[in-house]
Structure 1
Amino acid sequence: MEKIMIVEDDLKIADYLNTYIEKYGYDVLKADDFEKLMDVFRKFQPDLVLLDINLPRFDGFYWCRQIRLESICPVIFISARTGEMDQVMALENGGDDFITKPFHPDVVMAKIRSQLRRAYGEYAAQGNERILQKEGLKLLPERLELRFHDDVVSLTKKEADIIETLMNRHPRVAGREDLLEKLWDDQVYVDENTLNVNITRVRKKFQELGITGAVETVRGAGYRLHVTWNGAEES
């Protein structure tokens, strides 16, 4: 039985979500200590977190970052904030999806099922830990790590997904639609700036490894991976 953790300080909304989600056979926990959420998280070990942004003391962005230090379980933000930058920040801080209030419960359930399938079900990686390699570059998606020779950088889940897509498509171009489908396949609309921001972050991670020009923009098509060091290029 999958476990869902609800982090919502509006008791009516939390109770409503709790009751509705439990009808579908999930084990649900409503967090009520908003200062020690990580203690609750570690004890319950949820498979997915529903997370509000406006919370007492620390906001949802902060708590999502704390979760990402320990887990890659799906995090779905649920918020009354409707601004595009709020959605960008939710994804940038490690979230996997964003639902605006007021919401339809069937939409919430559809997104929960979608994220659980991708993380643990039919769409998830099976068996041993996956390792993708390209000319000294090594991606470990389950660890959220990118390695180049002896250097290592940590990644967010979105960054790992982008790099995985680029490596799988290499040396072909990974289209913008390919990346959007990989990252946000259950969202009707994603702001154009969201992908641009994530690509910029991925480029910085490559730069931390000493790899320059790693992600080439192919105008009108998408992006292509290049690995360059000491003046030599693998493409």
Structure 2
Amino acid sequence: MYKILIVEDDAKIAGMLRAAITKYDYEVFVVEEFQYVLDDFLQAEADLVLLDVNLPKYDGFYWCRQIRARSLCPILFISARDSQMDQIMALDNGADDYITKPFNSEIVIAKIRSHLRRAYGSYAAVQEEERKIECAKLILYPERYIIAYQEATVELTQKEATLLEVLMLKEGRVVGREKLLDIMWNDEHFIDDNTLNVYMTRVRRKLKDLDCDNWIETVRGAGYRFQPVEVQS
């Protein structure tokens, strides 16, 4: 029996979701203490999470990152916030889907069933060992958006993880700005070129937090190069 965790501070909506989902023989858990969302997730061993954006204490984006750092389970946002930016932020922080309120409960059930099939059931890929990319003892877990170095870890957003993955796979070689923009945003032509600078700054800052400062080199007029610098003992 699959386990579903509902993180919704509106008791009426949470109850409605619980009633609808339980009819399909799923085991349902509802968070009540919103400062302990991650603890409830780990205790329930949830297979899928329904997550609101506006929550007490910390918002849903924060909890999405916390859960994604521990699990690859499907995370579906359900929120009254219907702006394109909210949906982008949800996906960028590790979510798999975004449903706007008001919603049809049958659509929610259909999405739950679809994501469970893709993650665990008939549509799931053959389970393989988790992917990781390692350069000079820095390890990137691209499916969980985490980098680790000398027993310390730092969380990334989806875009940050994609950016670092491309650079690490081309270790020692220059990757052009246009190539990075194409990989990270595909056909989203509205992306400002300066956006790449913002993400590059964020990734460099997080590498610095792991004592991997200056591991990304700017090659003027060409692009960027991931070049690990050995720490002198």
- TM interval, shorter chain, is 0.5 to 0.7
Aligned equivalent of 2:132: 131
Does the CA contact (< 8 Å) of 1:145 and 1:154 recur in 2? Answer: yes
The TM-score normalised by the length of structure 2 is 0.63
SS of the residue corresponding to residue 82 of structure 1 reads coil
Task: Structure 1 unaligned segments of length 5 or more: list them.
Answer: 182-188, 231-235
The corresponding residue for 1:233 is none
Contact 1:215-1:226 within 8 A present in 2 as well: yes
Contact 1:131 1:141 (8 Å CA) reproduced: yes
Query: What are the residue-to-residue correspondences of 1:3-14 with 2, within 5 Å?
Result: 3-14=3-14
- Count of residue pairs brought into register by the alignment: 217
In the other structure, the counterpart of 2:52 is 52
Unaligned residue ranges in structure 2 (runs of 5+): none
Over 3 Å counting, the alpha-carbon distance change for 1:227 and 1:198 in structure 2 is closer
Q: 1:8 touches 1:51 (CA, 8 Å); kept in 2?
A: yes
1:5 is displaced (CA, Å) by 0.7
1:28 lines up with 2:28 in the alignment:
yes
Corresponding residue for 2:226? Answer: 227
What is residue 184 of structure 1 aligned with on the other side? none
Measured after TM superposition, the shift of residue 177 of structure 1 is: 6.2
CA RMSD for the aligned pairs? 4.4
| Change in CA separation of 1:177 and 1:91 when aligned onto 2, cut-off 3 Å | same
Closer, same or farther: CA 60–155 of 1 in aligned 2, 3 Å: closer
Q: Residue 80 of structure 1: CA displacement? A: 0.8
Report if aligned partners of 2:54, 2:60 keep a CA contact under 8 Å in 1: yes
Q: Within 1, Cα distance between the matches of 2:170 and 2:164?
A: 10
Name the CA distance, whole Å, in 1 between partners of 2:89 and 2:28. Answer: 26
After TM superposition, list the pairs within 5 Å mapping 1:1-235 onto structure 2.
1-68=1-68, 70-91=70-91, 93-109=93-109, 111-113=111-113, 115-116=115-116, 119-120=119-120, 122=123, 126-133=127-134, 138-141=139-142, 144-147=145-148, 150=150, 153-156=153-156, 158=158, 159-164=160-165, 178-179=183-184, 192=191, 201-208=202-209, 209-213=212-216, 226-229=225-228
- Contact persistence 2:69–2:145 (CA under 8 A): no
Q: Based on CA coordinates, which of the two structures has the bigger radius of gyration?
A: 2
Q: Deviations over 1:120-146 (max 9, x none)?
A: 565557243433245765323466543
Percent of residue pairs bearing the same amino acid type: 44
1:102 CA drift (Å): 1.9
Q: Given residue 29 of structure 1, which amino acid in structure 2 is its aligned partner? A: F
TM-score, normalised by the number of residues in structure 1: 0.63
Q: Is the 8 A contact 2:147 2:156 kept in 1?
A: no
